[in-house]
Structure 1
Amino acid sequence: MMAGVSTGPILAPLLVRFLQEEYDYTGATLITSAVVLHCCVGAALFRPIRTDSREPSAEQSKTHVWRLLLRVIRGTFTNLYILKSPRAVIIAVSGAFTLNSWLNFIALMPFAVQAAGYSLQDAALCVTTSAVCNLVARLIVSALSDWPRFSMRACYMASTATIAATTAAFSMTHDITWLTVIMGVWGFGVGSYMGIYNLIMVHYMGLEKLTSTIGATFMLVGIGFVTVGPAIGLIRDLSESYSASMLVLAGMAAAAFVLWVLMPTAARCDRRKEQRQRNKSQ
């Protein structure tokens, strides 16, 4: 799955460029939207197979939808209880910072390249370079994660630092060759980060708390999607500079790095809390 996610950015720039040349911007957007719409078909298949051949009535279907909605709402608030743990707070908040940082950066980057006077093809090359390095990093890190001496925290922090540093460096560079190189290093950082993204949650929170940690993390990530993106766009408009927006995104990744510096302290705090709870129960 980790490898498959990276193949999209490798092929997409080539496909989008072809579609824009053949069908202009509107046609390319409609075709790309139609392709993405197939995700709804795939998502609809993520359900248990019915063993009962009888079709549910219209009233039963409505009841099922309401029960499902209530279950989602209840599960959402239940997941938030995990944020009482300092470890979970660091994982969730840093994840929201880092994911929103690199997702907004990759959205801005092609426009920044074109604003610097380079072609759409140059921007596509930067995206493809980052995606190839992303794929390589995911495969390497995923394989190394089983090595006894492999430090997930060190890898995670190094990846976050790489994302922050390369995002800042990109904002200060104007030569297309160096921009492409920076995007390659940036892609390697993102790939290393995502290669152990779920594993780091298991490592610090355990399997029994994985679902709650993922739920709380992606709730914060989702809140970031609808707040950070418009804020970054506003900064771009007010400053009339992509560099200013990218430096803010680099700062978000740097803040995530600082949070992970505190993880050993958070882990000790949680252990003391769990020990007190065990003592009370005895």
Structure 2
Amino acid sequence: MTKPVIGVCEVNTNLQDALESVGKTKSNNSDEGWGWVVTFGGFTISWIMSIAMVSFGVVYSTFLQDIRTSGTLSAWIYTIAMVNANIVGYMFGPLVDELGWRTVAFVSGLLYAAGFIMSAFSTTAWFLLFSFSFVTGSSIRILLDSATLVITHYFTSWRTLAISIALSGIGVGQMVMAPVITMLLEEYGFRGATLILGGIALNCCVAAMVFHPVEWHRKNSHTIITGDSKKEETTVITTKRGEESCLRRILRIALTNMKMFKSSSVSIVASKMALSVSVFFNVFTTVPFAMQQEGFGARESSFCILVAGGCNLGARVLTAFLSCCPKLRVRIVFTCGVFLAAIALIGFNVAENLIGKCTALGLIGASYGMTASLYSLLIIDELGLHMLSSVLSINSLLTGIYILIIGPLVGMIRDLSGSYVASLYFCVVVFLLCGVHGLLIPAAFVMDQHRDTAHHQKASHHQHTEHMAVQDILQHPQQTTSGDPYQQRIRQ
């Protein structure tokens, strides 16, 4: 597929193309060896990262009830954590470009563990808002994206399988950690269980240490780039690095990424993924309350969530093997998964017994696993590997914004209608909108191609005009106006 030319990347286009060509020539040794060690490290980070989602419903909810925290404040603690995770995740691309995968993942692991350890000493909900929502929350998305990005650079033929294996850790964590956390809570209480979870979270730092630069494990890495273009680009980048501090470079890259919204294809791909994540988040937080309103107990709700987690894991594994087929289009599978979630959510609202509710939630969990395992692959397939970190940053920012918008809307609809069913039907509409959103990707590529063609034609016309003006001045120097600054610049 022809990839669009995106204006903000024009400065480093030659260097990126050269690096991509090098990766293709060395693909014969990039699907083996250390890449699978990196995949195991990504799997470890994924299942440890899921502790934040599982622990809030089990550990922190009990603590908040004991100190008689209002339901509104309790809901905002988790919502702010997810919003903060995605907004801070916007800095993922610039941080990785400047510091590397291993450093970013290691520091994020420290923050993730520090949030749990600090929460063990909390006495109020406001302190938990700081320790969980801001300290722990700020590292969740960066940790997950770090594991995903490094794996994509280690594989070519088995890239889809490796990413799916790493991301399947989320489903494993949701299934395994719920009973483990319950056992820790019964044995050691809130503070002891939270401290142990902080110790488990420190293993993210251990897993991050295997995220070596790809060049360390590639043969003949000394013949990376040849030609004058490499020398020129390297000189420009080295000069910029020498003139700017680390913080200024990170901020410059972050601001530059914002300009990528000018590309229709980037905006639609990032927005499609962000919209799906935000609506899945609201569905899974609303479903337990909807079941309790219909007369189901907490045990039945927990069982349905457990089934959804199992189907989530199964869908990730199945998608991993199916996506290895070269004829499979990631965009089509992703869109089908979103439409499946909309149909299953309608079935959940219509079902009246536990079996029907459980089956519908299982399908929703499967659709979430199907789409979540394809985020990075969708970016690579539609926009190219060199766009992965930047688009993930934009997607993270949009996800935080969408959660902040859709969450209050879901609550407002529930308050106005008096029923969680109306809120879930609103989520169905958003799912359908997300599916239709994906159908616009081919049109976005056409728009980008027309824009790039017009841009190149305008640039060529400008160059031709200047060339003709220079030739005219050189051929008729006596007609040159000495006071004309444009003609003086051409003469120089």
Structure showing greater Rg = 2
| Structure 2 residue corresponding to 1:96, chosen from 266, 271, 274 | 274
Whether 1:8 and 2:199 are equivalent positions in the alignment is: no
Which whole-Å CA distance do the structure 1 matches of 2:205 and 2:407 have between them?
A: 25
> TM-score normalised to the size of structure 2?
0.48
Q: Where do residues 101-116 of structure 1 align in structure 2 (5 Å cutoff)?
A: 101-116=279-294
1:231-267 deviations in Å (ceiling 9; x for gaps): 3223223322111111112211111111111111112
The residue type equivalent to 2:262 in the other structure is: K
1:280: Cα distance to partner? 5.4
Tell me, what secondary structure is at the counterpart of 1:191?
A: helix
Pick closer, same or farther for the CA change 1:83–1:37 going to 2, 3 Å.
farther
1:165: Cα distance to partner? 1.9
1:220: Cα distance to partner? 0.5
Tell me, what secondary structure is at the counterpart of 2:326?
A: coil
Aligned equivalent of 1:269: 447
Contact 2:264/2:444, CA 8 A, preserved across alignment:
yes
Whether 1:212 and 2:390 are equivalent positions in the alignment is: yes
Contact 2:167/2:373, CA 8 A, preserved across alignment:
yes
Which whole-Å CA distance do the structure 2 matches of 1:105 and 1:152 have between them?
A: 24
Pick closer, same or farther for the CA change 1:107–1:93 going to 2, 3 Å.
same
Tell me, what secondary structure is at the counterpart of 1:228?
A: helix
Pick closer, same or farther for the CA change 1:276–1:194 going to 2, 3 Å.
same
Which whole-Å CA distance do the structure 2 matches of 1:233 and 1:15 have between them?
A: 31
1:170-194 deviations in Å (ceiling 9; x for gaps): 2332311111001111111111111
Pick closer, same or farther for the CA change 1:206–1:230 going to 2, 3 Å.
same
Tell me, what secondary structure is at the counterpart of 1:147?
A: coil
Which whole-Å CA distance do the structure 2 matches of 1:101 and 1:31 have between them?
A: 31
Pick closer, same or farther for the CA change 1:23–1:236 going to 2, 3 Å.
farther
| Structure 1 residue corresponding to 2:346, chosen from 168, 178, 183 | 168
1:150: Cα distance to partner? 0.8
Which whole-Å CA distance do the structure 1 matches of 2:184 and 2:412 have between them?
A: 30
Pick closer, same or farther for the CA change 1:117–1:11 going to 2, 3 Å.
farther
Which whole-Å CA distance do the structure 1 matches of 2:176 and 2:447 have between them?
A: 46
Pick closer, same or farther for the CA change 1:176–1:32 going to 2, 3 Å.
farther
1:157: Cα distance to partner? 0.7
Pick closer, same or farther for the CA change 1:68–1:5 going to 2, 3 Å.
farther
| Structure 2 residue corresponding to 1:133, chosen from 311, 314, 334 | 311
Pick closer, same or farther for the CA change 1:219–1:249 going to 2, 3 Å.
same
Pick closer, same or farther for the CA change 1:183–1:276 going to 2, 3 Å.
same
Pick closer, same or farther for the CA change 1:179–1:222 going to 2, 3 Å.
same
1:141-160 deviations in Å (ceiling 9; x for gaps): 12222212212121011001
Pick closer, same or farther for the CA change 1:112–1:36 going to 2, 3 Å.
farther
| Structure 2 residue corresponding to 1:31, chosen from 193, 210, 224 | 193
1:207-230 deviations in Å (ceiling 9; x for gaps): 122222111111110112333223
Pick closer, same or farther for the CA change 1:45–1:176 going to 2, 3 Å.
closer
Which whole-Å CA distance do the structure 1 matches of 2:396 and 2:254 have between them?
A: 10
1:71-108 deviations in Å (ceiling 9; x for gaps): 44433321122211111111122122110000111111
Which whole-Å CA distance do the structure 1 matches of 2:355 and 2:248 have between them?
A: 53
Pick closer, same or farther for the CA change 1:99–1:149 going to 2, 3 Å.
same
| Structure 2 residue corresponding to 1:190, chosen from 336, 352, 368 | 368
1:11-38 deviations in Å (ceiling 9; x for gaps): 2443455567x389xx559835862686
Q: Which range is displaced more, 113-122 or 84-93? A: 113-122
Tell me, what secondary structure is at the counterpart of 1:224?
A: helix
* Contiguous gaps of at least 5 residues in structure 1: 50-66
The residue type equivalent to 1:211 in the other structure is: S
Q: CA RMSD in A?
A: 2.9
Which whole-Å CA distance do the structure 2 matches of 1:84 and 1:177 have between them?
A: 47
Contact 2:337/2:370, CA 8 A, preserved across alignment:
yes
1:40: Cα distance to partner? 7.1
* Contiguous gaps of at least 5 residues in structure 2: 1-165, 213-244, 461-492
Contact 1:94/1:255, CA 8 A, preserved across alignment:
no
Which whole-Å CA distance do the structure 1 matches of 2:359 and 2:278 have between them?
A: 22
Pick closer, same or farther for the CA change 1:109–1:16 going to 2, 3 Å.
farther
Percent identity among equivalent residues?
A: 24
Pick closer, same or farther for the CA change 1:154–1:11 going to 2, 3 Å.
same
Whether 1:230 and 2:392 are equivalent positions in the alignment is: no
Contact 1:9/1:127, CA 8 A, preserved across alignment:
no
Pick closer, same or farther for the CA change 1:228–1:13 going to 2, 3 Å.
same
- Bigger RCO (CA 8 Å, 6+ sep): 1
